[in-house]
Amino acid sequence: MKKLLNYIIEGILDDPSGIKIEEQTEEGILNLVVYAPKEIIGRIIGKNGRIIKSIRSLLKIKAIKNNIRFKLVLMES
């Protein structure tokens, strides 16, 4: 899941060097935490949240296929 998320974010951003992604498992739920500067978080979320919703949809497809529950969190670094 981390590889897929990293691939998607690299495709969206011009310079993804300020991005850090961590995987944490808690009570059977995979938490994907994306640390990024404030201005980059806005680009990941997109207008009216369209981009982040699309990212979550793609991750959801992989999660269903692999029988995993996940949560995607964006944090300011």
**DSSP labels for 41-76?**
HHHHH-GGGHHHHHHHHHHHHHHHHTT-EEEEEEEE
Instruction: Give the DSSP H/E element, type plus range, for residue 26.
Output: strand 20-26
pTM of the model: 0.89
pLDDT at 12: 93
For a pLDDT cut of 70, what percent of the chain falls above it? Answer: 100
Class of domain 2-76: alpha beta
pLDDT at 11: 94
pLDDT at 16: 86
pLDDT in tens, 2-39: 999 999 999 999 888 889 999 999 999 999 999 999 99
Q: What is the mean pLDDT of residues 60-73?
A: 96
Structure tokens at 27: 């009570």
Instruction: Give the DSSP H/E element, type plus range, for residue 71.
Output: strand 69-76
Find how far residue 40's CA is from the centre of its chain: 12
- The residue extents of the domains of the chain are 2-76
